[in-house]
Structure 1
Amino acid sequence: MPRAIGDTIEAAVRQIQDRSGLSTIKTWIETDIAGRFVGTEVLGAIASSTHFLADVTVLNFNVTYEIGYAIGLEKPLVLVRNAAIQDAGPTIGEVGVFDTLGYRTYENSSDLSAIFRAIPEAKPIRLPPAELNRKAPVYVTDAKFKTDPATRIIARVKKARLGFRSFDPNEQPRLSGPDAIRQVAQSFGILVHFVPNTVADARVHNLRSAFLAGLSHGMGRVTLLLQNGDEPVPIDYRDLVVAFYHPDQIDESVAEFATRVTEAFQVSVESPVRVPRNLLEKVNLGASSAENELRDLAEYYLEINAYQRALRGDVRVVVGRKGSGKSAIFHRVRDRIRSAKGNIVLDLKPEGYKLLKFKEDVLRLMTSGTLEHTVTAFWEYLLLLEICYKILEKDRVPHTRDPRLFEPYRSLAGAYDSDLYVGEGDFSERLSVLLERIGSEFKAKYGSDAHVRLSEGQLTELLYVHDVRALREQVERYLQLKDSLWLLFDNIDKGWPAHGIQGEDLVIIRALLEATRKIERQLERHEVACRTLVFLRNDVYELLVQQTPDRARTRRSPWTGRMRIFCVSCSGAVSSLMGSTRIKRSRTSGARWR
């Protein structure tokens, strides 16, 4: 905090004390007692106070965390900002949170003392009426840049079988205060990841995370605060954070967190939900991301013709702008199809950033003919492995009870060797391991030479670890005992800029469509029904069509049945749940196709 702000606050407090004789206003400096833990003293002072005033002129971890803590305790809160101080570091607009909570400005100690005198009129921010979310009991802060630790944290949460919601800055550019409060209030557990200061966007991310951490502690939720190494959390609150120096420590921390969440889940008593006081409190427009509302999506989702066509398998490519409802269709189609025990559903989200290093290290060094052939072979191999993984996961128990499945299952498990790729439990990690292996072997054999042309034998040696032919035969044999196979892809273009998409990016998508078509043809020969749905942004799709030769489109025919989604802002769906009316915007309120 700049010294000018501290001096102004102290001067304002002295003015109040001199004029009124009040001695009940305390500043944080008075809690700085030698031999005592500063963080504990400050939090204790907040808990015992009747009101809390915080200066947000210059945002830092301590103040942001303490504001969240005070809100969690439902303390009357006053936020102030010195208008005379120039912005330094992340602004309130960049971080979000505080611009929707509101604050008062001052320029000098007289202005601030006037605000002090009005403090008794301040009212607490009422926590929203919210049921604990038992289907997705955990709320996670995701990082903008998917580093290895960030990816591993999400993967371990998935592996712990914890349903979770998340704030992803790639999907939502800012976090609003009311939304943060509502999400924490619904949760049994909060997992916050603080990123090192060397990471771009670290200060904005860590300030948001500090606010959520304070909210969680104030509301008494199960909380796990993780940071990579010894930064960025200041020493005042270092004891609240679990630092990790090796990926295995992430696994241990998340496993212990999952146990505590499960315990809270089991011992929790459903407290009565506060009755909304007015019409506005009854209105719920839903989350901005379908992924955070999977619990309620089925209750209000409007099954329009676009969804029905996707469900019937009439289309292969679903196209729509960001926020138009593609992910909602993805989740509803997936849930509907996999509810039938005889179906195998591969729901993959190979986010584009995962392929960035592969593109830079390998694909840019290949000739155009080798490039497309390599990427198609890569997708075909990856899909084959993921189909095996899904079958073995889905029928791990059923095959022991069904004589038809027992022997084919064991044969498939034997063909699916336990190499490094197979050993990882989450798709993001498995994809990273596979790409890393291919990239390392390519650089070891061909270095940085440009325009590399690979023969079929060299390509096989580079990509494959398994006996692909034997593995494919086992998959085809097993799927003949099933009703159908569905291949669903979402988020492949996530994080791609609206401008600057390169030729290699389009090759990745075109090769994916070709690989799925090849798998469909192979399975059709064995009378196995296979359907594909790929979800793309409309700008990516338009570029894909423009840069695909007409002859290639005719020969491969990957564009048959494409569908475009549009949202109509005034459309909505109304549902009744637990006796209270909730108004939701339709995720896919209109559609057309070409």
Structure 2
Amino acid sequence: MTLAKKIVTCFYAYPTFPLSLSETIETAIPKLCKTGYVDIIGWKSLGVSGKFVIGKICEAIRKADIFLCDVTNLNPNVLFELGYAIAQDKRVWLSLDRTDPKAESNFKKTKILSTIGYRTYSNSDNLTEGFLSDRPFSEIEETLYRDLIEPQLHRSGRPNNLLYMKSSVETEASKRISQFLSNEKIHLFIDDPSEVSIQTLNWYIEHIVDSGYILVHLIDEERSKANETQNIKYSFLAGLAYGLDRNVLMLAHHPYEPPFDYQQLLAVHKTASEGIELLQPWINQVLQEIQDNKDLVTKSKHLKNEAFSLRKIYIGDYIAENEQDQLNNYFIETAAFSDAIRTNQSMIFVGSKGTGKTATLFQIVERLSSNKDNHLCVLKPVDYDLDGVLRLLRLSIPLSEQGYLMESLWKYLVYTQLAFSFVERINNRSIYIADNSHEQALKRFVEENKKYIQSDFTIRLETAVSNLCNIVFSQETASNRVKVSETLHENLLNQLRKFLGNVLFDKKVYILIDNLDKAWRQKSDLEPLSNFIFGLMSVSRAITEEFKRSGPSWRPSNVSVLVFLRRDIFTFMRAHAREADKLICTSIDWSDPYLLQRIIEERFIFSLDEQITPDTVWKRFFPAKTRNIETKTYLVNHVIPRPRDIIYICKTALAQAVNRGNPRIEEEDIVGAEKEYSEYAFLTLVSEIKPQFPYIEELLVELAGSNEIITYTNLCDALVKLKQPQSDVDLLIQLLETSLFLGIEASPNEFRYLYEHEKPEIIRARAKKVTEQTGILRYKINLPFHAYLEIQS
């Protein structure tokens, strides 16, 4: 007796337009069915219409053995269905019409999908031939779900986290939604394109698995043309999350025509206020579910005495905001951290993006808040509107008064934040602890003046700036200062100083300020913004000194103001601000390879929950060598020396090893991770430099394939090719040096990079002497950028 051959069922998703494409696929479907291998249903045969279309299509995908889809024009419906099918453990097969000149390059631009293969075709015959050649029906058990998603599932039990995928453009609606979410009592994972321009598919899967709730914010159709892949990527990820039974809400800026697949999940807002109104009911539901299920939520545990599996290793996140609750388990203390917790002064902590400024702030709060004799006030705006500040600084204000104006504005913002934070501390403590008379007095004063004190930082800033813009400034300094003082409630601040002194006199107070780089975007705005931030640098010292003094009604307090600032912003500010000599900073320095290696060791050790040594981590989980270099040395040499970078490359290598089913990370995993990391490092560099040098990406691409050692002339030639003035070359070189893309030839054939501990003026002076000797000004492209730009060593 001969057993009947099992016919594999397939569902084919493709767009209606262009008609030539749908015609090609619809011609191929019956040809494939006649082979006897498969029975294919095209989406049109479902006869779907109306608002319940998503249910019918998802049901058809679940019933099918294989999901087929066409990605020629990256239709959002098709991408949503692809994500859903992957999450439903379906074998997927992608087709792409190679006669469309932009199709392959657009697909590669999505990055997140570029690791998924596809079959090209030009007509129904070779579409049929390609499918039969690939034979996906013979191995339906080989799914992306089992490779990418299943290895992550051991860590999660539908936790009460919310993954927020921010709009690719920082609109008013995006800003307000971010502020709204930050004020809700829910743990957020944030995908912020302005912070990290590219995330891996593994990153998204990890955070979708770890989140019960997903919020996706799409940009409108017109603005999406500037970043055409972002909405497409989010459609795919929304489908993936929906397929994993997550609670998904999609918001979109108007005008946006909702794709019919997920119109039930999506709401379009015309204004920022309307966006909040649409979000509020969903958030209320989320918070209620979290409360109802609090005792039922299972949390991942590290199980002792269980057979080791590489997939059980979790080394945290390279974005501090996404791992705030875990940082204490593996935080590496630096000299900057030690200085911060011991200082009695105002300090500025400077580091490039990814050096751990925010992680340091979080850990300072964690370390010091357990001592009731300390009070911590954190001023970390989710975002703030720079337009009002710029409008204020562009008024006809005498130059000598701009500094006073900015310092007064910051004094108002810091004092009110400090008062608000202490009242919040009083209100949050046990009901069995009675308020003393000084605390009662402060609470009464804050309540009486709540419109000036209790509102969100952004609202206080915008209100104060709006009021200051209404001042008619003259050339008389005394008159101007009186007007500023009245507008910023100087009398209120003097009274507030008295009340604060009475409650803080026996405490050590830390005011921590971070996230000031959120508005650092457009070249034309950088100088006024640097003046705004410089005002904080100046007044922070004044606040520390003012609280040390006593008066007839003032009691002295020990107050330290700690400001965390990105290095490129600090460098720009020092070059442009008046009295730049006042700017003294402490660098967050990771140039010691041992510190970077410890970051990985501590995270592995915590994840294993075993008593193992750091050396064992490298011996047990990594190859001894990579490209004939000790692996831990190789990893450190191929990243910019920052925590974010070493975590990124190791997480990527770990994910590749798990996906390949390797029992440990192998050399091929590290080499593959190096390529992914190199692209990430490149895009991070571009995002930092672009505000000052808008065509930086195009210029660096001109260097692709070149030798690692380049000359001043090479950079001038690249500018000429882009039809940009050669006079820009000095600014370009300065930016590429400070961003660690270029090393400087400090002595013949010895190139030095401007890491945090280096002294730029000394290195540049040495380089000048080398140039005088050789007649050539040379630079070396840093190793982390070689893989992406295919630089020749």
TM-score by length of 1: 0.86
Aligned counterparts of 1:26 and 1:278: Cα–Cα separation in 2: 43
* Larger RCO (CA within 8 A; separation ≥ 6): 1
What's the offset of the Cα at 1:235? 3.9
What's the offset of the Cα at 1:88? 7.1
Structure 1 unaligned spans of 5+:
425-429
Aligned counterparts of 1:164 and 1:564: Cα–Cα separation in 2: 26
The DSSP-based 3-state class of the residue aligned with 2:333 is: coil
Query: What is the match of residue 480 of structure 2?
Result: 455
Please state if 1:101 is matched with 2:116: yes
Code of the residue aligned with 1:536 in structure 2: it is: L
The counterpart of 1:14, out of the listed 22, 25, 30, is 30
Please state if 1:165 is matched with 2:189: yes
Change (3 A) 1:442 1:296: closer
Contact between 1:493 and 1:536, CA under 8 Å: does it hold in 2? Answer: yes
What's the offset of the Cα at 1:138? 1.6
Q: How does 1:122-521 map to 2 (within 5 A)?
A: 122=140, 123-125=142-144, 126=146, 127=149, 128-130=151-153, 131-132=155-156, 137-199=161-223, 203-228=228-253, 231-243=256-268, 245=274, 247-269=276-298, 281=311, 284=314, 286-313=316-343, 316-350=347-381, 354-365=384-395, 366-398=397-429, 401-403=432-434, 405-416=435-446, 417-420=448-451, 422=453, 424=455, 430-446=456-472, 455-464=480-489, 467-481=492-506, 483-494=507-518, 496-497=520-521, 502-521=526-545
The structure with the largest alpha-carbon Rg is: 2
Aligned counterparts of 2:465 and 2:48: Cα–Cα separation in 1: 56
Aligned counterparts of 2:255 and 2:523: Cα–Cα separation in 1: 38
Could you list the per-position Cα deviations for residues 43-67 of structure 1 after superposition, in whole angstroms to 9, with x for gaps in the alignment? 1111111111222221232112112
Code of the residue aligned with 1:436 in structure 2: it is: E
Aligned counterparts of 2:498 and 2:22: Cα–Cα separation in 1: 73
Aligned counterparts of 2:130 and 2:306: Cα–Cα separation in 1: 30
Query: What is the match of residue 129 of structure 2?
Result: 114
Code of the residue aligned with 1:263 in structure 2: it is: D
Could you list the per-position Cα deviations for residues 328-370 of structure 1 after superposition, in whole angstroms to 9, with x for gaps in the alignment? 222222221223233221222246x625212321111133222
The DSSP-based 3-state class of the residue aligned with 1:362 is: helix
Contact between 2:159 and 2:298, CA under 8 Å: does it hold in 1? Answer: no
Change (3 A) 1:373 1:263: same
Aligned counterparts of 1:507 and 1:289: Cα–Cα separation in 2: 28
Query: What is the match of residue 26 of structure 1?
Result: 41
Change (3 A) 1:438 1:141: same
Change (3 A) 1:68 1:473: same
Change (3 A) 1:402 1:509: same
What's the offset of the Cα at 1:439? 4.0
Contact between 2:386 and 2:519, CA under 8 Å: does it hold in 1? Answer: no
Please state if 1:587 is matched with 2:587: no
Please state if 1:531 is matched with 2:554: no
What's the offset of the Cα at 1:391? 0.6
Contact between 2:346 and 2:544, CA under 8 Å: does it hold in 1? Answer: no
Aligned counterparts of 2:172 and 2:335: Cα–Cα separation in 1: 40
Contact between 1:101 and 1:178, CA under 8 Å: does it hold in 2? Answer: no
Aligned counterparts of 2:160 and 2:69: Cα–Cα separation in 1: 33
What's the offset of the Cα at 1:444? 4.5
What's the offset of the Cα at 1:292? 1.4
What's the offset of the Cα at 1:375? 0.9
Change (3 A) 1:73 1:512: same
Change (3 A) 1:34 1:141: closer
Aligned counterparts of 2:306 and 2:431: Cα–Cα separation in 1: 51
The DSSP-based 3-state class of the residue aligned with 1:193 is: strand
What's the offset of the Cα at 1:173? 1.0
Structure 2 unaligned spans of 5+:
1-16, 550-554, 611-616, 622-631, 637-641, 647-754, 760-793
Worse-superposed segment, 385-394 or 211-220? 211-220
Contact between 1:376 and 1:514, CA under 8 Å: does it hold in 2? Answer: yes
Q: Percent identity?
A: 23
Consecutive aligned runs of 4 or more in structure 1 exceeding 6 Å deviation: 133-136, 271-280, 449-454, 580-586, 588-591
Could you list the per-position Cα deviations for residues 433-454 of structure 1 after superposition, in whole angstroms to 9, with x for gaps in the alignment? 23332343345454xx999976
Code of the residue aligned with 1:30 in structure 2: it is: S
Contact between 2:157 and 2:299, CA under 8 Å: does it hold in 1? Answer: no
Change (3 A) 1:278 1:246: closer
Query: What is the match of residue 427 of structure 1?
Result: none
Change (3 A) 1:480 1:593: farther
Worse-superposed segment, 183-192 or 579-588? 579-588
Change (3 A) 1:418 1:450: closer
The DSSP-based 3-state class of the residue aligned with 1:59 is: coil
The DSSP-based 3-state class of the residue aligned with 1:267 is: coil
The DSSP-based 3-state class of the residue aligned with 1:25 is: strand
What's the offset of the Cα at 1:528? 1.8
The DSSP-based 3-state class of the residue aligned with 2:115 is: helix
What's the offset of the Cα at 1:167? 0.3
The DSSP-based 3-state class of the residue aligned with 1:468 is: helix
Contact between 1:188 and 1:264, CA under 8 Å: does it hold in 2? Answer: no
Change (3 A) 1:381 1:297: same
Aligned counterparts of 1:568 and 1:66: Cα–Cα separation in 2: 47
Change (3 A) 1:94 1:302: same
Root-mean-square deviation (CA), in Å?
Answer: 3.6
Could you list the per-position Cα deviations for residues 492-529 of structure 1 after superposition, in whole angstroms to 9, with x for gaps in the alignment? 12352596663322211221012211111121124422
TM-score by length of 2: 0.66
The DSSP-based 3-state class of the residue aligned with 2:72 is: coil
What's the offset of the Cα at 1:119? 1.6
Q: How does 1:544-563 map to 2 (within 5 A)?
A: 544-549=573-578, 553=581, 557-559=582-584, 562-563=586-587
Could you list the per-position Cα deviations for residues 125-147 of structure 1 after superposition, in whole angstroms to 9, with x for gaps in the alignment? 12132412898722111224333
